[in-house]
Amino acid sequence: MTDIRNPRDDLVPAMRDIVGPGHVIDDPALMEQYVVDWARRFRGPARAVVRPGSTAEVSAIMRLCARLGVPVIPQGGNTGLVGGSVPAEKAPEGRVPVIISLRRLDHIGAVDHLSGQFTAGAGATLGGVRRAAASAGWVYGVDLAARDSATIGGTVATNAGGIHVIAYGMTRAQVVGIEAVLPDGTVVSHLSGLLKDNTGYDLGALLCGSEGTLAVITAVRLRLHRPVARTSVALIGCDTYDEALSLMVSAVAPEARLLAAEVIDEAGMDLACAVLGAAWPLEQRHRVLTLLEVVDGGDASGLVGLDDADVVVGLDASEKARLWAYRESQGEAFSSLGVTHKLDVSVPLPVLAACADELRDIVGAFPAVEVFGVFGHLADGNIHVEIYGPTAEDDAADLAILECVARYGGSISAEHGVGRAKAAELHLTRSPAEISAMRAIKAAWDPDGLMNPGVIFAAE
Ligand SMILES: Cc1cc2nc3c(=O)[nH]c(=O)nc-3n(C[C@H](O)[C@H](O)[C@H](O)COP(=O)(O)OP(=O)(O)OC[C@H]3O[C@@H](n4cnc5c(N)ncnc54)[C@H](O)[C@@H]3O)c2cc1C
């Protein structure tokens, strides 16, 4: 008698054999936290969620999915904001994906004090990595507000930026080695941490920003930094973005070093005050508030020329944390309104002020938009534009924002990635030649198109 069973029917039992019955979830209620994104804007169906506990188990799962032709979505902390960590709203017939959650791969190795490096599993949280580095007398250079949920694998896969890019660079600059599992289950491991190693293509660098479309990252060798001396934080009222940008240069003493330069607009500050239950932080209201953190160069605070400014300066840890909270709560503050559209763009610094002003005018022409706000990483020309009002599916204002950014020579994704949210707009800031070179890389690594389909590249 012919066996007419769909081979995919074997998937869940076979995955249970690999990782143990407790680590495969196919109950829809229990899958909910994995199939909906942090901002609750993107969701889609998954066949199951599998939680491997080792690289060998990831490899076995990948071999199985490749054999059965099942697409996979690698997932870390599910804090990504572009829909890349959750399934598409609709999967083509027979292509409902499996989510591979890497959170159990959360080991963090000992620091090698000679090289200033350690190895972390893909599922270790960014916060855990930062604390482990600090307790050994070092600093991990990437930091962002979702630190206690975002994972090292996720931050590498998105090449996360965050609040200290001006001082340490993006995640790619911290990665000195990587271990990953290819779509056919092959493990590629290069974790020796050699600073100099020009033996062909740098696969780790390629996986930075690959958004789960090429391979599953299982471990990362990370470069650490020496801790900085004392820092000071200043929150300064400004009337324009140009004023904010000038302060970034003029307010930092020559012997001091900038560790962070962030910006919050008036709408975002009002919302932050509401969610924090805190007062407006300055004496007067301002259109734009700039937060600077500087590493002191000597005895003074490292800040200069602020005598006439409306400013509050934090020197001790609790006051610095209080000022940072206004900035760190921005994502949550806008989300407290409901489903918000979160756009993460960058523009060259000389045109940032003009672009931010034009964005306000452009968005004002969409009657569905009830709230518009901007915050972000000023020093990197990276602004997060938040709009509330349009339904989750209505992305007309989003598109107008991205087109405006492209006209200013910017990028439609500064640090969050392309995901599903911006796949159709990739052409706005990458040329046809670049996109076809990227598609060729995708086809070489993932010939059957099983890795996170629909992310970075829209269906052709
Ligand atoms: C409050 C808040 C603040 C944020 N601030 C910043 C910020 O300042 N800077 C910034 O850059 N981002 C920021 N983000 C976005 C987000 O935290 C980052 O994109 C982060 O890097 C995602 O990590 P994650 O583990 O949650 O990844 P996920 O959301 O789980 O996944 C993100 C992408 O990476 C892929 N992926 C995840 N793990 C792996 C893996 N092991 N192997 C291969 N692919 C994988 C997924 O398939 C997906 O495409 C913020 C998010 C929130 C909610």
CATH class of segment(s) 117-223: alpha beta
Quote the pLDDT of residue 7.
54
Summarize pLDDT for 70-95 with one digit per residue, the tens.
999 999 999 999 999 999 999 988 89
Q: Look at 136-140, 168-172, 392-396 and tell me which has the smallest mean pLDDT.
A: 392-396
Write out the two tokens for 35. Answer: 């199939």
Residues 6 or more apart whose CB falls under 8 angstroms from that of 433 comprise: none
CA–CA gap between residue 296 and residue 299 (Å, rounded): 7
Interval between CA 265 and ligand 1 midpoint (Å): 24
In the predicted structure, residue 119 carries a pLDDT above the cut 50: yes
In the predicted structure, residue 8 carries a pLDDT above the cut 70: no
From 221, 225, 223, 222, select the one nearest 137 (Cα to Cα).
225
CA–CA gap between residue 167 and residue 379 (Å, rounded): 10
Q: What is the mean pLDDT of residues 423-448?
A: 97
Summarize pLDDT for 48-74 with one digit per residue, the tens.
999 999 999 999 999 999 999 999 999
7-104 under CATH 3.30.43.10, yes or no: yes
Summarize pLDDT for 211-228 with one digit per residue, the tens.
999 999 999 999 999 999
Q: Which CATH architecture has domain 231-331?
A: 2-Layer Sandwich (3.30)
Output the average pLDDT for the chain: 95
Contact (CB, 8 A) for 351 and 245 = no
Residues with CB under 6 A from ligand 1: 38, 73-81, 84-85, 102, 122, 144-146, 150-151, 153-155, 157-158, 160-162, 211-212, 216-217, 331, 415-416, 452, 455
* Amino acid in the structure at residue 220: V
Quote the pLDDT of residue 459.
78
Contact (CB, 8 A) for 292 and 314 = no
Summarize pLDDT for 330-373 with one digit per residue, the tens.
999 999 999 899 999 999 999 999 999 999 999 999 999 999 99
Interval between CA 256 and ligand 1 midpoint (Å): 31
In the predicted structure, residue 460 carries a pLDDT above the cut 80: no
Quote the pLDDT of residue 1.
43
**3 pLDDT tier (thresholds 50, 70, 90):** very low
- Minimal-distance CA residue to ligand 1 atom 44: 212
Interval between CA 332 and ligand 1 midpoint (Å): 15
Contact (CB, 8 A) for 219 and 120 = yes
CATH class of segment(s) 337-438: alpha beta
Interval between CA 203 and ligand 1 midpoint (Å): 20
Quote the pLDDT of residue 405.
97
CA–CA gap between residue 118 and residue 105 (Å, rounded): 15
Q: Which atom belonging to ligand 1 lies closest to the Cα atom of 217?
A: 42
Burial 237-256 (b: 16+ CB within 10 A, else e): bbeebbbbbebbeebbbeeb
Summarize pLDDT for 23-47 with one digit per residue, the tens.
999 999 999 999 999 988 899 999 9
Q: Look at 173-182, 297-306, 409-418 and tell me which has the smallest mean pLDDT.
A: 297-306
Say whether 337-438 and 231-331 share the same fold.
yes
How do strand 231-238 and strand 288-295 relate by DSSP bridges? Answer: antiparallel
Summarize pLDDT for 283-337 with one digit per residue, the tens.
999 999 999 999 987 667 899 999 999 999 999 999 999 999 999 999 999 999 9
* Residue 63 Rama label (left phi>0; alpha psi -120 to 50; beta): alpha
Quote the pLDDT of residue 6.
58
Which helix (H) or strand (E) segment is 55 a member of? Answer: helix 55-68
In the predicted structure, residue 101 carries a pLDDT above the cut 50: yes
CA–CA gap between residue 140 and residue 9 (Å, rounded): 44
Q: How many residues does the chain have?
A: 460
Domain boundaries, the chain: 7-104, 117-223, 231-331, 337-438
| DSSP 8-state symbol, 227 | P
Interval between CA 155 and ligand 1 midpoint (Å): 5
Q: Which atom belonging to ligand 1 lies closest to the Cα atom of 160?
A: 11
CA–CA gap between residue 72 and residue 63 (Å, rounded): 11
Quote the pLDDT of residue 153.
98
Interval between CA 407 and ligand 1 midpoint (Å): 27
In the predicted structure, residue 377 carries a pLDDT above the cut 90: yes
Residues 6 or more apart whose CB falls under 8 angstroms from that of 292 comprise: 233, 234, 236, 247, 248, 251, 252, 258, 260, 261, 262, 303
Report, in this order, helix, strand and coil percent for the chain, each rounded to 5.
Answer: 35, 20, 45
Packed helices 317-328 and 266-276: angle between N→C axes, nearest 10 degrees: 120
